Structure 1
């Protein structure tokens, strides 16, 4: 997946979606279709979706809302053409009574007419901007899923949902960290600037080499770990709420949209 030829095969959002739809793409989407927005998905019955949207409004850093579908719709015009939300993500999770399933390849067989899809901004979107500025993205370089961690940073409770923030981590030298903050601040709809840098124990992370989601990556002695709000936050929130039924992407496995990254950038 991390080779240049593999990345070239997934250079457009449609190519990524069709490959996922056909079952050929099963891995993380970091580095694929560079230049286009990737989104996290939270799919809920309409009865719970309004409450979750209030939660997103109260917590825009981890949950920046980009689009909301009509109940039962498996497409979303705001995200692009030829989209099947139930099949175009490389891996999904299904939640029943607060328990998450292992990753599944599609969710067409459990789709319901009352399901509302909420598309949230994703930090994979700003990674292309980091790369264009000469800043490496460690998990892409090492062919791994981004490391993600539960924290002790509290969220604002709203709509019947609450809990603690989940973060993604990327390491940089001090000089690179300053530039990374400047670049990602331009993307508030993709989580924006980091929420923390440096000592991970200050936000409740005890072992930087043991992420709660994704894979570990190397961090050099002269590098600082930078932590961004993460779209996996809603997944932990759904578990904490004991939600009766919901669907999300599997961590690191996003929906590729037809929206150019530039549409989310504040110049």
Structure 2
């Protein structure tokens, strides 16, 4: 069950403990400020090499932070005492490309051949945008960031293929330029935007109709700015239809012990 917002001073480890105890299953947006959050995809070992190559070919939507050894639920490079089976608030279970369940603990589904992939998340670069004084409309309106499936194809690798998924934040032109400059410093958490302006050019007919998250209000003089999104692997799973896969539910991330400030490349 969800109760009592997580205190802002908590560390990544403390947040993971609360999630592991079942005290928080909702979005991790805004939790443990300063700490890197990560998207999740878990696949059988026989698909792992192709998925790793898919990430390498699509670094914008799938910036790989770490992967586990087969059957090992720990990720020591991302933090102490991580158990990927319990430390994400809500998991999605996929079979043959269909989401068949959402659950808060996947220990009963864990197998010796499963490999966990952790991908960078825009929650990290949002902190840098806020620190520079930019306003994020979805936070201002207490909503989840709007997410859309585009008509832009990802680069295929082995069986993996599918559309690019993006998140959107509205800015005035001068703010958009600054947002590009800031997020360019963080390639391991999606980096610079992939599109600015007319949504129809990337296959989005109506910004009010989101595929995940919640729509936000656009003000006069603003333009939509789109970043590659870590929900892309879920669209790829739906297109590729692997026999078995586990992902995070959108917005429910692994909160690591890494610091966002360490991800900047300049």
TM over 0.5: yes
Correspondence for 1:15: 14
The runs of 5 or more residues in structure 2 that have no matched partner are none
* Structure 1 CA distance for aligned equivalents of residues 225 and 154 of structure 2: 19
Structure 1 runs of 4+ aligned residues shifted over 4 Å read none
TM-score (norm 1): 0.95
1:10–1:16 Cα contact (<8 Å) kept: no
Alignment map for 1:33-48 (pairs within 5 Å): 33-48=32-47
2:37–2:121 Cα contact (<8 Å) kept: yes
Cα shift readout 1:175-232 (whole Å, capped 9, x = no counterpart)? 1111111000000010000000111111000110111011111221221111000010
Does the residue aligned with 2:135 lie in a helix, a strand or coil?
coil
2:8–2:33 Cα contact (<8 Å) kept: no
Matched, 1:181 2:183: no
Does the residue aligned with 1:6 lie in a helix, a strand or coil?
coil
Cα shift readout 1:146-202 (whole Å, capped 9, x = no counterpart)? 111000111111121111100011111111111111000000010000000111111
The runs of 5 or more residues in structure 1 that have no matched partner are none
Correspondence for 2:158: 159
Matched, 1:223 2:235: no
Query: Cα offset for 1:101?
Result: 2.9
RMSD: 1.3
Cα shift readout 1:17-73 (whole Å, capped 9, x = no counterpart)? 112111111211111111111111110111111111111111111111111101111
Correspondence for 1:201: 200
Correspondence for 2:118: 119
Alignment map for 1:102-141 (pairs within 5 Å): 102-141=101-140
Say if 1:11 and 1:142 are closer, same or farther in 2 by CA, change over 3 A: farther
* Structure 2 CA distance for aligned equivalents of residues 135 and 94 of structure 1: 36
